[in-house]
Chain A
Amino acid sequence: MNENAVTVRNVSKNFRLPQERANSVKSLFTTIFKKRNRVIKTQKALKNISFEVKKGEFFGIVGRNGSGKSTMLKMLAGIYQPTSGTLEVEGKLVPFIELGVGFNPELTGRQNVYLNGALLGFSEKEIRDQYEDIVSFAELEQFMDQKLKNYSSGMQVRLAFSMAVRAKADILLIDEVLAVGDADFQRKCFEYLANYERKRQQSSL
């Protein structure tokens, strides 16, 4: 068995950013025919990155805005493909790139729980079984049949986090999502994660 939960070897990521130069109808036509003239700028987001994360280890990445932290996480999550190099991930990985992904404001809280649950890989039955827990953790008992657009942003985030912590993962990717809700709720989240950490052998980024 591999000791590492995550192995990253010489990973580079370039983004190709086409420069929009068609600012008039005439230049629009000329750019179509003179394709070579179109400048494509290559943004080198990550260059030759290598690291390993052992099982059961906490691993943190710090850096300035735009230094490529999120790009790294997205490649680990399989959302972006690396330009070169290899990534190996052992075990089930759940990314919290952002909370409440796929939440639809026109649906009720209850319906959103099922939709978001599906994105996290839960069947309807699995959600039904832990529905009470999800709602009470988010402290939203009276609001579940209201449409999400009538929720305050704090309420939305609480519901989203309550969903996210359900995910059964070997590896947890967390991208600046823990600054959530009021002080009370934050403490609850950290407790939950610390607990989770002890119970399961896993790694967080």
Chain B
Amino acid sequence: MNNLKQRYRYAFILLKQLVKTDFMIRYQNSVLGYLWSLLRPLFLFCVLYVVFVKILKTGGDVPHFGVYLLLGIVLWNYFIEVTVGSLASIVNKGDLMRKVNFPRYVVVLAGSFSAFINLMFNLTVVGLFMWIGNAEPNRYAILFPLVVAELFIFALAISFILSAAYVRFRDIGYIWEVLVQVGFYATPILYSFSYITSKSSDVAKIVMANPLSQIIQDARHGLITDKTTTLGGVFNTHYAYLIPLLIVVIAGVVSVLFFRKASPSFAENV
């Protein structure tokens, strides 16, 4: 029992220092430093606003479409930052793996936490534009932390699988790059979901069963406007939430089992 406590103490200490280090190095040698964490989503909003709200007008009848887009992109970017960042994290720390026996999962967890800090900065900017644009948060906004928690777990699970598989098969890097591209267009990030529903309700169901679509649409539904189409709306039943939740749970269990099985041989294989 004491031994167990000692082990997690080590993991915790290491996690804290790795996240701190990552944060210290991130904006090194830049004049504005941490300010960039806020400036990046700010400029992103400007670009989105000009391109999609003023020129292309892909929003259709969605109110507050600028901040609606921004929230979607911010959540999606978090997912990409975690998964792509962690992909090579084990391999990049190979030198360390070969010399110190520390819990391997800490490396992946650290990447996930530093991306999470970044997400908080981004959400602050989203909040700012919600306030400026008079968005209409409603009672479903209470569920937002749960939605973020779901995103956190899903991104982490995928990261564990990717980073462990990447040690043996470097092809995973290219495969994931392609999948990310597909995912970006298969998820209602840049377009209004009603565009899909108007074409085919079957396609709409498939797109919505993706946990990322469900997460992004639920977040928008609670924070921006209750006119957002959600999973319950597409399937006409709230039991449909079992599909993405089940995907997340399965990904979580598989990732833990897989990572535990693969991690003892990381030192030899990287």
Say whether, besides A80-B268, A81-B264, A102 and B96 are in contact (CB < 8 Å): yes
**Interface stretch among B14-22, B158-166, B230-238?**
B14-22
- Total contacts A-B at CB 8 Å: 63
Neighbour of B101 across the interface among A78, A104, A111, A118, CB < 8 A: A78
Cβ–Cβ contact B17 & A15, under 8 A: no
Using known A-B contacts A114-B17, A121-B10, A121-B13, determine if residue A79 contacts B100 with beta carbons closer than 8 Å: yes
Across the interface, do B13 and A74 meet the contact criterion of CB distance under 8 Å? no
A109 sits at the interface (CB 8 A)? no
Least distance between B175 CB and chain A CB atoms (Å): 14
Q: Are B101 and A119 in contact (CB under 8 A)?
A: no
User: Nearest chain A CB to B137's CB is how many angstroms away?
Assistant: 38
**In the complex, what residues of A have CB within 8 A of residue B99's CB?**
79, 95, 97-98, 101
Report the bound CA distance from A101 to B264 in whole Å.
19
Instruction: From the candidates A106, A122, A123, name the one contacting B28 in the complex (CB within 8 A).
Output: A106
Which residues from chain A contact B25 at a C-beta distance below 8 Å? 104, 106-107
Task: Check if B102 is an interface residue, CB within 8 A of chain A.
Answer: yes
Most buried by B among A104, A114, A118, A124: A118
Query: How many B residues have CB within 8 A of the partner chain?
Result: 24
Check if B98 is an interface residue, CB within 8 A of chain A.
yes
Complex contacts, A81 vs chain B, CB 8 Å: 264-265
B89-105 CB contacts (< 8 Å) to partner A: 95-102
Is A5 close to B, CB under 8 A? no
Given contacts A104-B25, A106-B25, whether A95 and B100 have CB atoms under 8 Å apart is yes
Q: Is the interface of A mostly helix, strand, loop or mixed?
A: loop
Is B157 engaged at the interface, CB distance under 8 Å to the other chain?
Answer: no
Contact between B97 and A79, CB atoms less than 8 A apart: yes
Identify which of A77, A78, A79, A115 gathers the most chain B CB atoms within 10 Å of its CB: A79
Query: Quick one: given A79-B267, A81-B265, are A122 and B13 in contact (CB under 8 Å)?
Result: yes
Contact between A124 and B16 (Cβ–Cβ < 8 Å)? yes
Query: Would you give the shortest CB distance from A71 to chain B, in whole angstroms?
Result: 10
Chain B residues contacting A15 (CB-CB under 8 Å) are 268
A121 and chain B: residue at smallest CB distance: B10
The answer to whether residues A101 and B100 also contact, given A74-B267, A111-B21 and a CB cut-off of 8 A, is: yes
Q: Which of B1-33 contact A (CB under 8 A)?
A: 9-10, 13-14, 16-18, 20-21, 24-25, 28
Interface 0/1 of A111-132, CB less than 8 Å to B: 1001101110111100000000
Contact A111 B97 (CB under 8 A): no
- In the complex, which residues of chain B have a beta carbon less than 8 angstroms from the beta carbon of A80? 267-268
Residues in B whose Cβ lies below 8 Å from that of A102? 96, 100
The answer for the CA separation of A98 and B98 in the assembled complex, in Å, is: 10
A107 to B231, CA, bound (A): 47
A188 to B163, CA, bound (A): 43
The minimal Cβ–Cβ distance linking B220 to chain A, given in whole angstroms, is: 39
> How distant is the Cα of A81 from the Cα of B261 in the complex, in angstroms?
12
Nearest opposing residue in chain B for A97, CB measure: B99
Interface centre among B17, B21, B264, B265 (most CB of A within 10 A): B17
Bound together, the chains give a CA A4 to CA B25 distance in angstroms of 44
Contact indicator B13/A79 (Cβ below 8 Å): no
Q: Which of B144-191 contact A (CB under 8 A)?
A: none
Q: Are the C-beta atoms of A118 and B96 separated by less than 8 Å?
A: no
Specify the chain B residue showing the minimal Cβ separation from A78. Answer: B101
Contacts of B96 in A (CB 8 A): 101-102, 119
Cα distance, A41 to B25, chains bound together (Å): 41
A106 to B17, CA, bound (A): 15
Residues of A within 8 A of B265 (CB): 81
Residues of A within 8 A of B264 (CB): 81
User: Is the beta-carbon distance between A118 and B13 smaller than 8 angstroms?
Assistant: yes
Question: Mask for B36-52, Cβ within 8 A of A = 1, else 0?
Answer: 00000000000000000
A48 CB, nearest partner CB in chain B, Å:
20
Return 26 A-B CB contacts under 8 Å, by A number.
A74-B267, A79-B97, A79-B99, A79-B101, A79-B267, A95-B100, A97-B99, A98-B99, A101-B95, A101-B99, A101-B100, A102-B100, A104-B21, A106-B28, A107-B25, A111-B24, A114-B20, A115-B17, A115-B18, A118-B13, A118-B17, A118-B18, A119-B14, A119-B100, A119-B102, A124-B17
* Besides A111-B24, A124-B13, A124-B17, 11 new A-B residue pairs in contact (Cβ under 8 A), listed by A number: A77-B101, A78-B101, A79-B98, A79-B267, A81-B264, A98-B99, A107-B21, A118-B17, A119-B14, A121-B9, A121-B13
